[in-house]
Amino acid sequence: MRPIYRARYKGTAVAALTLFVLSACSTSSGPVNPIDTEPTDAAAQRSTTATDMDDLIARSLISATAQINDLPPWSTTVQINVPTSSFGNALFNALEEAGYGVQRVPDDQGTNYISYRSSIEQSESGRVHTYGMWVGGRIALERQFRETGGTLLPDSPLVLVGVRPKTINIDDRGFASQTRAGIEFPSGVEFRDEAYELIQSRELGSITTGKGNGSLSAARRISEIQVEEILAPYRPKRQATLSFPSAANNVLGDPNKQAIVAISDAYRPSTDIFLVSGCRPATFSSPAEPEADSIARTQRVRAELLNRGYASGVILEENCEPGRYNEKLPRRAVVLTLERLRDT
């Protein structure tokens, strides 16, 4: 069986958590069996439809996953069971949104098979929720949350096991917008080995709720209102036109990557969002091509932003419209704009 992981965060002793347990202990090697379950009392209260909090937690985990060198979304296919829980559905959706190829499998098949679990434990400071996932039985991501103000806030940094220490950007503003202002919670990353011994900690410090969350809240409404309405309080701060070097929509190319770095380096978490505009050549007097190609290019740019650690909720996508951009845009173009709140 896999080891039981024990941890202490901010002086709070947390009960031993068995995250990914084999359904039988007769084997000691091989991939972890999928677990898509919760404690019985919690499961009875949850729908299999992903909740807003499950979505937020899943997107946070997948945003970090996309930054792991061995798991880039544009060249990685993962395997997962058909989800039967709210958190499972949230993970499935977040993987697809990040640009991963996702295969539904009946059991633990595949090199990048995803197993996951959410659990609830009691501690002296109250109920602690743990969310975690394994990729291929070799890489683990785990984070603890505490019940605060009617919602969940992080109670630990994000823990990564089986990953060589590197810069992993964590955007926790989504959690900060869930409850009243003035509550602090930890943000950062811890790298641990297979025995759960700390290798390196990259603490970002505490985040205080109620500060700088307007851009994320606006971005979440993309499916409910028009892009123009979302952009009304913003102004373009930086913009770059990316031209894919070939018809291979998953190949971004070094010049485009450098342009994305130049745009994103000016990003301010409290005021900014990204707008990724996929442009179809037919709009600009070029030979027509399938809309799916334009969507694929847009998603590739989005995946690059996710890989740099930006939250899914601050990345908007749209199709180019006639007259919105220069009529002489190159073929296979994607326009990336950093939008900043006015008067800031």
pLDDT digits (tens, 9 = 90+) for 94-106: 998 888 999 999 8
Specify whether the CB–CB gap between 119 and 17 falls below 8 A. yes
**Is it the case that residue 5 has pLDDT exceeding 60?**
no
Place of tokens 């295969």: 103
Task: For residue 294, give the CATH number of its domain.
Answer: 3.30.1330.60
Specify whether the CB–CB gap between 178 and 153 falls below 8 A. yes
Task: Name the domain boundary from 184, 208, 232.
Answer: 208
Angle at 57 between CA 83 and CA 315, to 5 degrees: 105
Q: Are residues 15 and 133 in the same domain?
A: yes
Torsion of CA 306, 178, 96, 215, to 10 degrees: -50
Residue 1 forms part of a structural domain: no
Q: How many residues make up the chain in this entry?
A: 344
pLDDT at 326: 62
Q: Band the pLDDT of 289: cuts 50, 70, 90.
A: low
SS3 label, residue 299: helix
Specify whether the CB–CB gap between 80 and 104 falls below 8 A. yes
Q: Are residues 195 and 220 in the same domain?
A: no
**Is it the case that residue 126 has pLDDT exceeding 80?**
no
Q: Band the pLDDT of 50: cuts 50, 70, 90.
A: low
Residue 3 forms part of a structural domain: no
Q: At 294, phi and psi to the nearest 5? A: -65, -40
Q: Are residues 65 and 168 in the same domain?
A: yes
Specify whether the CB–CB gap between 53 and 178 falls below 8 A. yes
User: If you average pLDDT over residues 103-117, what whole number do you get?
Assistant: 90
Task: Name the domain boundary from 162, 190, 208.
Answer: 208
Q: Are residues 153 and 274 in the same domain?
A: no
pLDDT at 6: 34
Distance CA 98, CA 124 (A): 37
User: If you average pLDDT over residues 54-64, what whole number do you get?
Assistant: 91
Q: At 93, phi and psi to the nearest 5? A: -65, -40
Q: Are residues 79 and 199 in the same domain?
A: yes
pLDDT at 227: 67
User: If you average pLDDT over residues 111-127, what whole number do you get?
Assistant: 87
Task: Name the domain boundary from 177, 208, 239.
Answer: 208
Encoding tokens for residue 264?
């994103």
User: If you average pLDDT over residues 104-130, what whole number do you get?
Assistant: 88
Distance CA 298, CA 261 (A): 16
Q: Are residues 165 and 242 in the same domain?
A: no
- Read off the pLDDT of residues 7-44 as tens digits, 9 standing for 90 and up: 333 333 333 223 332 223 332 333 333 334 333 343 33
Structural domain count, the chain: 2
Mean pLDDT is highest, among 59-63, 281-285, 305-309, 313-317, for 59-63
Percent of the residues in the chain that have a pLDDT greater than 90, as a whole number: 26
Containing H/E element for 277? Answer: strand 272-278
Burial (CB count <10 Å: 0-12, 13-18, 19+), residue 110: middle
Of the two residues 93 and 19, the one the predictor is more confident about is 93
Q: Are residues 95 and 221 in the same domain?
A: no
Distance CA 277, CA 283 (A): 13
Domain extent, residue 303, equals 214-341
Specify whether the CB–CB gap between 276 and 298 falls below 8 A. yes
Of the two residues 315 and 307, the one the predictor is more confident about is 315
